[in-house]
Structure 1
Amino acid sequence: MATTVNPEDGTEIAYRAAGPDDGVAGAPTVVLLHGTALSKAVWQGYGFVPALRAHHRVIAVDLRGHGRSGKPERPEDYAMDLVAGDVAAVLAAEAAGPAHVLGYSYGARIGLHLAARRPELLSALTAVAGTWRGTRGRIGQLFFPGFLDSLRAGIADGRGMGAFVEDWEATIGHRLDPATRAAMLANDARAMLAYTTRTEEQPGLTPHELAAITVPTLFVVGERDTPQLEDSRAAVRILREHGTRTGLELVPGRGHGDVLAARDLILAAAGRFHGAPGSGPDGGPDTMAVI
């Protein structure tokens, strides 16, 4: 694991760089940005890092407030411009860029912000289950209503993230799976409260800002992820109207929380959209090696 510091506010950002295993100099860089309450470990767990590092330089980032990165405790510390600066700091530390950003949910929102505000950092964007619009109310839809009160209660009585987990399990009527439960409990309650409070207030891109994006952008979304699907379709319409190369890949049978399990489909779609097919060991197309 490596770390760097965002020069704008001094927040330390942890990340891990790997590959390319084929030793090709100048291999393209892929930056992986996770979703809310997750960490860079999700990309290893779902197999994205092993699949990509064969032919790419892969950089998986712990977003501020998550994983091993710094955990500021004020909502204003999670303003999108600061978070975008974290990614810029990692790219500068690794002398990597422009890069292909592959972001999931929160990571996709960051990717769209970068494409709109700092396009020189990106060669391509794959936005998985993301939105360009404001996100008020959406965390409550993904987890449970009253999640902010649960975080506040956990901070007040010393249960930390335990209060959040207990209330979530009470809402869904069963215990979370062990991996999800462990991931949630590993978070810092004060940082999550600050981050989610800001997320509830965070403005998205305006249609004008979205229309100005020129970075080739692929949207990938589960067919059951209704809000993100509607937003992705709207984004594709706007970007196409303004001449930006864009596309939408629907993931059958998936919703918001389980779309990353469709790793092969996501990487194959990104390969088809963003690059020319490579050659697999059998001489056939290796669609996971071309983004």
Structure 2
Amino acid sequence: MSSEPVVKTLQSSDGTPIHAEFMGDVQKPCLVFVHGLNMSSVAFDGMFRDSSLLREVCMARYDLRGHGRSGKPEDPEAYKSSLYADDFVTLMREFGYTKPILVAWSYGGTISCDIYASLSADTLAGVVYLCAVPYIAPPMFPDSITPPTVALIQSQMAGTDVASYLRDKTAFIDAIWQDIDNVDYRLRLTWLAPGFVQTPQVMRNVVTRPQDPTKLLEAVGNGVPVLMLYGDADKMVSGAFVAEKMQPCCTNAEVHVVKGGGHAPFFEHQEEVVRELLKFVDRIKTSGKP
């Protein structure tokens, strides 16, 4: 197996370029990592280098439309739920895998809603909500998000002046970390950069796009395996709120709380998160779901 990922720029159904990467053997269970708001797939660099994961699974990651190295259309019509599902299908076809496990971080959790709204109910083998918001509609959005984070999102959508826009982008990303003072400066810049290439209009498109969670809730109610994993010191999303609202809808769900974990436990508590991911993969394999 190559130690370097396959990196490609794909074309989605509407022509939007989608930056994507794949690593591993497609005969193994596949994890598809989806990043959060203002971010890109660079957030998962550590996971893509993790030897425990590389032994057991193949992995894919991509930059969502409106983010990172993917296209950032200004037209709100380019952010329809069906197009997010098309982006995912394009990724699956290019890299040749079926029934992956979605590992969705933060805003990336909303992609599960897009997938189930437009694709078949057996598209995914399971869903991991990693400090994630499952869909953009009440009660999940905005109630699962902390008030300071809501204020930062609203100000970025308004984009009244360049200085405040960049200031709020920086404050948003800094809140991801449990202890920003201990974050390597170069790494901090790497995580900050993707948000700076978005315009206020793109932010509005991403955050206000309509979603219908009906089919997602049907799927988890019919037994799609779900893992809700979050840090109990998250400054941005209330994982406890998400679990409280989602658990009654699920028939095959587990919750794991990372003690002292912030909004990026896969970075600050990587070993623990990898262990829980592999336990989830094994549970799905054992149950015969893939």
After TM superposition, list the pairs within 5 Å mapping 1:73-84 onto structure 2: 73-84=74-85
Q: Could you say what the CA RMSD is over the residues aligned between the two structures, in angstroms?
A: 3.6
**What one-letter code is carried by the residue in structure 2 that aligns with 1:13?**
I
What is the aligned-residue identity percentage?
19
**What one-letter code is carried by the residue in structure 1 that aligns with 2:131?**
A
Taking the aligned partners of 2:205 and 2:144, their CA distance within structure 1 comes to 12
Taking the aligned partners of 1:36 and 1:64, their CA distance within structure 2 comes to 11
**What one-letter code is carried by the residue in structure 2 that aligns with 1:218?**
L
Deviation per CA, 1:233-261, whole angstroms, max 9, x where unpaired? 33122212xxxx22111111123344642
Q: 1:217: which partner in 2?
A: 226
Higher Rg: 1
Task: Output the TM-score relative to the length of structure 2.
Answer: 0.75
Q: 2:20 aligns with which of 1, 15, 26?
A: 15
| 1:40 maps onto 2:44 in alignment | no
Taking the aligned partners of 2:94 and 2:58, their CA distance within structure 1 comes to 14
Task: Output the TM-score relative to the length of structure 1.
Answer: 0.74
Instruction: Report the Cα offset of residue 268 of structure 1.
Output: 1.8
Deviation per CA, 1:70-126, whole angstroms, max 9, x where unpaired? 111233422333222211111111121121111111222213442454233211221
Q: 2:166 aligns with which of 159, 162, 169?
A: 162
Kept in 2, the 8 Å contact 1:44–1:50? The answer is no
**What one-letter code is carried by the residue in structure 2 that aligns with 1:62?**
D
Taking the aligned partners of 2:197 and 2:241, their CA distance within structure 1 comes to 31
Distance 1:185 1:236, change over 3 A: same
After TM superposition, list the pairs within 5 Å mapping 1:1-291 onto structure 2: 1-7=7-13, 9-20=14-25, 26-45=27-46, 50-115=51-116, 117-118=118-119, 119-133=121-135, 134=137, 135-136=141-142, 141=147, 143=149, 145=151, 147-150=153-156, 152-153=158-159, 157=162, 162-165=166-169, 178=185, 179-191=187-199, 193-200=201-208, 202-203=210-211, 205-206=213-214, 209-213=216-220, 214-225=223-234, 227-240=238-251, 245-258=252-265, 260-275=267-282
**What one-letter code is carried by the residue in structure 1 that aligns with 2:130?**
V
Deviation per CA, 1:168-210, whole angstroms, max 9, x where unpaired? 6999xxx98533344223434544642345414544624x751
List alignment gaps of at least 5 residues for structure 2: 1-6
Instruction: Report the Cα offset of residue 54 of structure 1.
Output: 2.6
Instruction: Report the Cα offset of residue 60 of structure 1.
Output: 1.2
List alignment gaps of at least 5 residues for structure 1: 279-290
Distance 1:116 1:239, change over 3 A: farther
